Structure 1
Amino acid sequence: MPSPYQHFNLHSPSLAYNLLQDTPERETLVYLPSSYQTEPDRRYPVIYLLHGFGGTAKGWFSEQPGEPSLHQTMAQLIATKQVEEMIIVVPENSTRFTCTGYNNNDVQGHWLDFICHDLVNAIETEYRCLGGAKHRALMGHSSGADAVLKTLFYKPGFFQHAFAMSPANLHSDDAVFFKQLFSDNHAALMQAAQGELAIEQLDVWQHLIICRLQHALPDVNNPPLYCRFPEQESDWQQLATHAFNCVIPTHGQHLKDVNIAIDIGSQEDTHQSCLNLVKQFNQSGVAVELFEFDGGHVDHMGKSLAYVLPWLSRALTSTD
């Protein structure tokens, strides 16, 4: 059976020289519509799909009972004329700390620049794409959904359409939650900071904490974690400034001309926080369409594609 995607590798200048020594050589999986080979003069809109913590690019193409894959869903949606043919690009964003935090900094590398500059330029050079922001869409799940919103906030003008699936960065404004999470994991984090516990032995939650600290409280002279731990109230406040509800007042104007949708599961512990975020967006003049589903954080990803992809297809074709 032929592969549902092509492998495309690129070197990212934006990720070179990161202090964590994660490779700037990035594998990317590219789904091409069936007409790509038979219509050599045709160009296509592009969706860029970002995976989350603990996920992989290949995971979106895995075929599991009850959890439809990306290519299977696209085949069905095209057959039923619910989507137009599109190119879908899924970069592999795993790092030494499980997955990138999708930030721009010297510790982790400049991941937002990787998405907007290195990745987009490489894909539009290699493949027959309709260029320009109006023909590009960005989608992601969990921390990949966080990346969608971060990109719109901090790198405006690159994507006109975006879908954030179950964003994860919704506890950052909850000091009690993050303080408890940090306290529960403090012993392991201290061992890792002192070189007594290998980074690879830390779990996903501990990697996530470190990732947040590397961005909010970086310390480039403090390997192997390259961050400092919160010690006083101002440190916790610094962490909170990166929460989306704090960013909307200063950067929300960048999203006003973008087609945006967000979904959240009724069983996710961030459900109410997400509803509050969408309400804040809409009150600030940023129109966001909300989708709610009956499920949790990771048990509905494939099923959600049945409405995410048609929504993005409609947004992309409405600009023609």
Structure 2
Amino acid sequence: MKKSRLTAFLFACLLAPAVTFAQSPLKGSVERIKVHGKSLEGNLEGNPTDPDVSVYLPPSYKKESKRRYPVVYLLHGFTDTDAQWYGFVKHWINFPLIADKVFTSGQAREMIIVTPNALTRSGGSYYSNSITAGNWEDFVSKELVAYVDQHYRTIAKAGSRGLAGHSMGGYGTIRIGERHPEVFSSIYLLSPCCLAPGNPRSAESIAKIEAVKTPEDIAKADFMTKAALAYAAAWSPNPKRPPFYTDAIVENGKVNPVAELKWNANMPLNSIDQYINNLKQMKGIAFDAGDRDQPIAANIKTLHELLDNYQISHTYEEYAGDHINKIGERIETKMLPFFSKHLIAK
């Protein structure tokens, strides 16, 4: 897909009309809590240090008071929130309804699902450690896991913890998963973005980035401009350059090569060879994307070939679809059954 088409598609995703779901009572339940992140304290963007977290508790949770459950940490995508995914705000997906359907029909064993709100000033944290956006990798892999294990009836061991995510969340899944096999034993990437460097930015896209002068301008920026600002906040922070506290994104009408090098260094396909021994410890690895979701579909094929070269067992699928239109179906028929198979439930 040419960059102009990709830009138009992603912008359309951002503005996609909300899907209306039948408002039937949940069989499970959802709690929306706040979890303090010491690792988020002092972030220069001023993002919350007590982010909202949505927790889905399966149908039997409140009935079987001595039962403990595996946990899947589900990471949302760029410009999304946990509230959108969990039905507090109408969106293109309503995860609790999907989970209810899967667990009540017996398609998968019950589990707890946890989603932190990783929306930042620039649109998303990319689940990375940054003085500017906050240390989100540490928050998810350490503090959030510790909080959930302390406050819910979890099976508190890596073999019973999974990590999954869509788009930016898929990126966060491979990033955090490959670094922390002592925390998560199985990972599932749904249409993961940002696995490899993209096409060169056009003069028009560079001009749009240059037009953002203040934090207030971010709200008016288009999807791809926000993404560039979020890349910078996550991967090229600079505490001496207010008001965005990042390295310059554009210099002399071109993308700053130093910033671009830092961004590329954070693309998983550029660094995954350093984490092969960690990935070999995984009990389950799976990823998929729609065939019309380019360059993501091409990138996960490369990931598939790389894991094959290292003889690392995994599940890979390219299906007929785009970036969002089959995600609910994939969660129902693939992702939750995958974790049911791979996570230890006792």
TM-score by length of 2: 0.83
SS in 2 for 1:5: strand
Q: CA deviation at 1:63?
A: 10
- 3-state secondary structure, aligned to 2:343: helix
Q: 1:272 aligns with which of 261, 276, 298?
A: 298
Provide the rounded CA distance (Å) in 1 between the counterparts of 2:243 and 2:303: 34
Aligned counterpart for 1:180 among listed residues 194, 201, 204: 201
> Is 40-49 or 236-245 further displaced after alignment?
236-245
- In structure 2, the CA distance between the partners of 1:169 and 1:291, relative to structure 1 (3 Å rule), is same
Tell me if the contact between 1:112 and 1:155 (Cα under 8 Å) persists in the aligned partners.
Answer: no
Equivalent residue, structure 1, for 2:186: 161
1:114 is matched with 139
State the partner residue of 2:335.
308
Contact 2:186 2:339 in 1 (8 A): yes
SS of residue in 2 equivalent to 1:90 = strand
The secondary structure found in structure 2 opposite 1:297 is coil
**Structure 1 residues 129, 197: CA separation in 2 closer, same or farther (over 3 Å shift)?**
closer
- The gaps in structure 2 that reach 5 residues or longer are 1-23
Q: Is the alpha carbon distance of 1:63 and 1:216 closer, same or farther for their aligned partners in structure 2, counting shifts above 3 Å?
A: closer
Report the Cα distance in structure 1 between the residues aligned to 2:313 and 2:111, rounded to whole angstroms: 25
Residues 257-296 of structure 1 aligned to structure 2 (within 5 Å): 257-258=281-282, 259-270=284-295, 271-296=297-322
User: SS at the partner of 1:245?
Assistant: helix
The two structures have a TM-score, normalised by structure 1, of 0.90
Q: Contact (CA 8 Å) 2:75, 2:165: kept in 1 or not?
A: yes
The answer as to whether partners of 2:87 and 2:96 remain within 8 angstroms in 1 is: no
Q: Which amino acid aligns with 1:186?
A: I
Letter in 2 for 1:279: E
Aligned residue for 1:124?
149
Aligned-partner residue type, residue 86 of structure 1: M
CA contact (8 A) 1:105 1:215 kept: yes
Partner SS for 1:115: helix
1:105 is matched with which residue?
130
Query: 5+ residue gaps in structure 1?
Result: none
The 5-angstrom pairing of residues 195-274 of structure 1 reads: 195=214, 198-227=217-246, 228-229=248-249, 231=251, 233=257, 235-258=259-282, 259-270=284-295, 271-274=297-300
Q: Count residues with an aligned counterpart.
A: 313
Q: Residue 205 of structure 1 aligns to a residue in which SS?
A: helix
Query: Does the aligned pair in 2 maintain the 1:98–1:207 contact within 8 Å?
Result: yes
Render the CA deviation track for 1:66-107: whole Å, top value 9, x for unaligned.
x76322222222233221111111211111112212111211
Give the direction of change, closer, same or farther, for the CA distance of 1:222–1:289 in structure 2 (3 Å limit).
same
* 2:46 equivalent to 1:26: no
CA contact (8 A) 1:248 1:281 kept: no
Q: Which amino acid aligns with 1:180?
A: R
Pair 42,264 (structure 1): closer, same or farther in 2 beyond 3 Å:
same
Equivalent position to 2:78, from 50, 53, 69: 53
1:122 to partner: Cα distance: 0.9
Please give the alpha-carbon distance, in whole angstroms, between the structure 1 residues aligned to 2:340 and 2:160. 10
Q: In the aligned structure 2, how far is the partner of 1:281 from the partner of 1:250?
A: 13
Contact 1:253/1:286 (8 A) holds in 2: no
- CA drift at 1:199: 2.3
How large is the RMSD of aligned CA atoms in angstroms? 2.4
Cα distance between partner residues in 2 of 1:190 and 1:30:
39
Q: Does 1:190 align with 2:210?
A: yes
Distance 1:167 1:196 in 2: 27
Aligned-partner Cα distance in 1 for 2:117–2:215: 29
DSSP-derived class of the 2:164 partner: strand
SS across alignment from 1:201: coil
| Contact 2:123/2:230 (8 A) holds in 1 | no
Distance in 2 between residues matched to 1:68 and 1:12, nearest whole Å = 27
